[in-house]
Structure 1
Amino acid sequence: MTHTTSQQNAAALRAALETPDASHRLQAALSAGTRPDPEFIDVLVARCAVEPDFFVRDMLTWALVRQDRAPTPRRSFRGSHPTRPRRAARPCTPCRRSPTPPSGAPSPRR
């Protein structure tokens, strides 16, 4: 498949994934996984981020898994890091044990 044809197929996939009918989006994701193409990766990742239907998201994930292993993780995680820094974690505080009962008081049973 030539690069131009791949780009055209990716554009067609993008258009199919933007239709309002979930069954058409599901079919498009199934098709993308059945015939993997490196040009599909960015389209699939972008759609996974906004797809409202669970079953379509599941099929998009499957289609991503079916793509070539080399570029997929690098492209998938590109946008997964937050743009603002996270707050530092609070230091762990030790667990507090219940106070020792006064002498002569019965100890609780465990």
Structure 2
Amino acid sequence: MEPTNWMGLAAVLITTIGSVAGMWAGRTRTTVQDIPVDAPSSAPAQVEGTWTVSPEMYKWVIELAQREANTRADRLEFLLGLALAHIDRQDDAAQAAGLPPAPMDPELAAARDTR
């Protein structure tokens, strides 16, 4: 065999060994039950070696996802309020300087007027 054939075979062998080692390491890491500190204490622990999800665990995951979505929505509403207040200040400053108001997107104008 030529040297390039041996190098190709060595590359395939090393890649295969690395993949097997990675799968083994990943398998051993997935059995550790890490529950976040802020997680509700009523969530049952998952039995090692199973992939079954209990109804309580499913409910816990759904509640956690809803809480995160609500947090994101609250944050978005807060940031939108800050942006609209900034736009109002800029409009007031421009009008005080004698500049005509700049045209605004109708959705932003409607959001600003509802505040």
Please classify the TM superposition score into its range, dividing by the shorter chain length: under 0.3
Higher alpha-carbon Rg: 2
TM-score after normalising by structure 2:
0.26
TM-score after normalising by structure 1:
0.27
